[in-house]
Amino acid sequence: MLKGLGDIASLMKQAKEMQGRMGEIQDRLALMRIRGSAGGGMVAFEVNGKQDVIGCTVDPTLFESGDREMLEELVVSAMNDALHKSRQAGAEAMQEVAGGLNIPGLEGMMSKLGLGSGGSS
């Protein structure tokens, strides 16, 4: 019975350490700058690791062309590219936090947060 209590204490210690590392990772994600682009860089978005949009640039020639549909498609593609790269960066950061811990349900939780391989692209 005492062995079981030791296992629980060990799990609690790991959880506390992981919580501290999660805070550090969240800070790092907020500082990341990830660029996604489309149309050979004619449209670009910059997001952080928390998937907040930081900036957007559009080549002025796209406005001059008057092709609204093409511009809309490039905006969507560039944003999706940036978000995909941000999710990848988040998943890599989460892997650091997990540090090889075998925590049941962690992969599913990461996926729901959009940080794992199961997140939408």
33 found inside a domain: yes
Residue-level pLDDT at 121: 39
Residue-level pLDDT at 120: 42
- Global pTM reads 0.68
d(CA 22, CA 16): 10
Mean pLDDT in residue range 13-40: 88
Residue-level pLDDT at 107: 61
CATH number of the domain that 40 lies in? 3.30.1310.10
pLDDT higher at 12 or 68:
68
Count of domains in the chain?
1
Q: Are 15 and 28 in contact (CB under 8 A)?
A: no
67 found inside a domain: yes
Long-range pairs, 40-46, Cβ under 8 A, ≥24:
42/74, 43/71, 43/74, 43/75, 43/77, 43/78, 44/78, 44/82, 45/78, 45/79, 45/81, 45/82, 46/82
What's the domain range around 75? Answer: 2-112
49 found inside a domain: yes
10 found inside a domain: yes
75 found inside a domain: yes
88 found inside a domain: yes
d(CA 6, CA 21): 23
pLDDT higher at 77 or 8:
77
121 found inside a domain: no
40 found inside a domain: yes
> Is the pLDDT score of 104 beyond 70?
no
